[in-house]
Amino acid sequence: MLLLIQTLAMNIVNRQVLTLDEFTIQQLRQFPQATGELSGLLRDIGLAAKRINVEVNKAGLVDILGDAGEINVQGEDVKKLDVFANNQLTAVLHHGISCAGIASEEIQDYVAFDDEVSKNSKYVCLFDPLDGSGNIDVNVSIGTIFSVYRRVTSKGSIATREDFLQPGRSQVAAGYVVYGSSTMLVYATRRGVNGFTLDPSIGEFCLSHPGIKCPENGKIYSVNHGNFFQYDARVKQYIDVCQKKAKADGGPYTQRYIGSMVADVHRNLIKGGIFMYPGTMDKPKGKLRLLYECNPFAFITEVAGGKATDGKQPILDIKPMELHQRTPFFIGSKNMMEELESYLS
């Protein structure tokens, strides 16, 4: 009997999944020359995400709902959770040892940390602390999106604007947290895309989706049909094709649009599909932000085998001119994107 219990215990231990911290340290062991700064930065973001998750999960219970009474740089009502999430990410990155500065959807300009440790850090981080915040009050999934670059200015100096205005192709890591039916952190480096699900019983993100690959084909198309008549004729033509595929014998295409990009793009990354936020007559550049919304997802999706463009060029090749610039955005399964491109070219 004792032997059986010991064997069961060993099996349970062996089946133990890797936590985010263990995974990043394991990756570090494979690169002895690595300083561990990137691993440390990713763990810092994981810590902030756990703290944000606690507040998101009880948003309906405490007076954290409703507007913070402020207007952010986008001219949008700032929800208290936006402010909380922004402050958590800024604090952990500032008090860590891996980040020289941040840029955030919630802050007008970049923030270069001026203490000696931060100035000697290798990376800068850009983030949308809580994307989809308009959905907070109705309990729809929301998310955090982040992007990491190696700074182009020398270590020891204070980070400058050029550290933040790098093309997406230069990202060293990118990721997102989706606060949904479960809370998942997904991040990519050039070595691959891995997903970690938060286990509340131990308060750790645990490796649940190793080596995520975006299916080359999909059956889901995501777009806000409310703007249909404002889209470019070629975009309308492609959407029409999707609708016809959806109508033909009841499938196989289906339209899914949550109105929270992290949730829509995450679903399409896992299941296959295409997400579109095109420019319109009113907003030719669309709504989504290049640096901290489109670039991170484009990096993740390309590493996973998918594609992302602004309708003319790969998102990752765009040279940013300002922190909060917008871009039309098309992202998803390789073959669906190539079909779309055949209409847009």
Among 36, 51, 68, 134, binds ligand P6P (CB under 6 A): 134
Least spacing, CB of residue 260 vs ligand P6P, in Å: 5
The answer to whether 335 contacts ligand P6P (rule: CB under 6 A) is no
Does residue 314 have a cis peptide bond before it, meaning omega lies within 30 degrees of 0? no
The answer to whether 132 contacts ligand P6P (rule: CB under 6 A) is yes
Least spacing, CB of residue 333 vs ligand P6P, in Å: 18
Comparison of 116 and 282: residue with beta carbon closer to ligand P6P:
282
Comparison of 259 and 320: residue with beta carbon closer to ligand P6P:
259
Total residues interacting with ligand P6P, rule: CB under 6 A: 9
Comparison of 96 and 132: residue with beta carbon closer to ligand P6P:
132
The answer to whether 314 contacts ligand P6P (rule: CB under 6 A) is no
Among 160, 224, 254, 255, binds ligand P6P (CB under 6 A): 224
The answer to whether 267 contacts ligand P6P (rule: CB under 6 A) is no
Among 79, 266, 267, 287, binds ligand P6P (CB under 6 A): 287
Comparison of 105 and 204: residue with beta carbon closer to ligand P6P:
105
The answer to whether 255 contacts ligand P6P (rule: CB under 6 A) is no
Dist CA 102 CA 51 (whole Å):
19
Comparison of 41 and 83: residue with beta carbon closer to ligand P6P:
83
The answer to whether 82 contacts ligand P6P (rule: CB under 6 A) is no
Comparison of 131 and 302: residue with beta carbon closer to ligand P6P:
131
Binding segment toward ligand P6P, per CB under 6 A, in 19-27, 53-61, 126-134, 300-308 = 126-134
Amino acid identity, residue 196?
Answer: F
Comparison of 100 and 223: residue with beta carbon closer to ligand P6P:
223
Comparison of 166 and 280: residue with beta carbon closer to ligand P6P:
280
Binding segment toward ligand P6P, per CB under 6 A, in 89-97, 117-125, 128-136, 240-248 = 128-136
Token pair, residue 122, equals 């290798």
Q: What Å distances lie between residue 98 and 44, 218, 308, 319, CA to CA? A: 9, 38, 29, 25
The answer to whether 273 contacts ligand P6P (rule: CB under 6 A) is no
* Residues of this chain that bind ligand P6P (CB under 6 A): 131-132, 134, 224, 259-261, 264, 287
